[in-house]
Amino acid sequence: MEMQVFESRAAAERDVAREIAGLVRRRPDAVLGLATGNTPTGVYAELARLRREEGLDLSRVRTFNLDEYCGLAPTNPRSFRAWMERELFVPAGIALDRVCFPDGFEAGHPVRVEELPRVCDAFERAIRDAGGIDLQLLGIGRNGHIGFNEPGSTRASRTRRVELHPWTREDAAAEFGGLEHVPTHAITMGVATILEARAVRVLAFGAKKRALVRRTLDTANDPAWPASFLCAHAGVRLVVDREAAT
C-alpha cells in the first residue's frame, strides 16, 4: 500500500480535494464514495472553497455514502445524511437528488429489519448502475474498521446491517449526548463493495492515528483489522500528515 506523507493535515486535505476536483473537471458526472466524521471535514471544506472561489462545478457528480445509523431518519440532525448536507452537499453545490445513502428509510418510514436485505441489495445495484465508484474516501476507526465494517467482517462482505462495536459507539457518544443514545446498529457498504472502487484514498491525521497507520501497513487480509483488506488494491493510497506517519 502506498503511503503519501504531508507536512501538515491542511496540505494533505488540499491535495486530496484537488485530486477530486481534477477528476470532476475531467468527468463532470464522476461517482464519489464518501465518508463522514472528523477525518474528511477539511477535504469537504476545500471542495466548497474551490466551488466558491474557482468555480468548481460539482452539480452533476453522483455520491454514495459508506454508511448510516439504523433508526435515524434522514432529517435527524445526527444522521449522516444531515451531516453531509451541512458539511459538503449544500456548501459544494452537490445536487441532493444525486446522493445515495444506505439509510433503511422508504417514503419517510423505517424499513423493517427483515426487509433491510432488499434495501441493501438496491444500494449495491445503484452503485453498479452508476458505473461503479471512481474514487472512495475512507478513514480508519480505532479498531481498524472501514465504513462500519467492524472486526470480523470478511473480504467478501457486501452492504448489510451490522452491530456496532462498543468502541465505535463510545466514539460517537459525545455527539449523541451519551452512550445510551447511540444506535446499536448501522447499515454499511461492504468490504468487497469498497474494494471495487477504482481509486481509494484513506485519510489518517494526527499522532493518535499513528498506531492505526502502522498496523494497517503491517497487516494483510486480516478480518480482525478490516483496513488490512485494502493492501491488495492497486489504487489505494494512504494519505497522512507527519504526525500520523510511522
24-35 pLDDT, tens digit per residue, is: 999 999 999 999
DSSP H helix total and E strand total for the chain: 8, 12
Is the model's pLDDT at 246 over the cut of 80?
Answer: no
Bridge-based pairing state of the strands 67-69 and 185-188: antiparallel
Q: Name residue, grid cell 480535494.
A: 17
246 in a domain, yes or no? no
Q: Which residue has the cell 497522512?
A: 240
Where b means 16+ CB within 10 Å and e means fewer, 142-162 reads ebbbbbbbbeebeeebbbbbb
pLDDT of residue 107: 78
Q: Mean pLDDT in the chain?
A: 96
Q: What sign has the CA pseudo-torsion 161, 1, 135, 175? A: positive
Catalytic residue annotation: 67, 143, 145, 150
Residue 59 lies in a domain: yes
Beta carbons of 224 and 151 less than 8 angstroms apart: yes
| CATH number of the domain residue 23 falls in | 3.40.50.1360
C-alpha cell at 192: 468487497
- Residue 14 pLDDT class (50, 70, 90 cuts): very high
Whether 142 is covered by a domain: the verdict is yes
CA distance 153 to 158: 10
Report which residue type is found at 3. Answer: M
pLDDT at res. 78? 95
* Domain, as residue range, for 73: 2-241
Residue 109: the pLDDT is 86
User: How much is the pLDDT for 106?
Assistant: 86
Query: What is the structure's pLDDT at 108?
Result: 83
Give the pLDDT mean for 52-64: 98
pTM (two decimals): 0.96
pLDDT of residue 130: 98
Count how many domains the chain has: 1
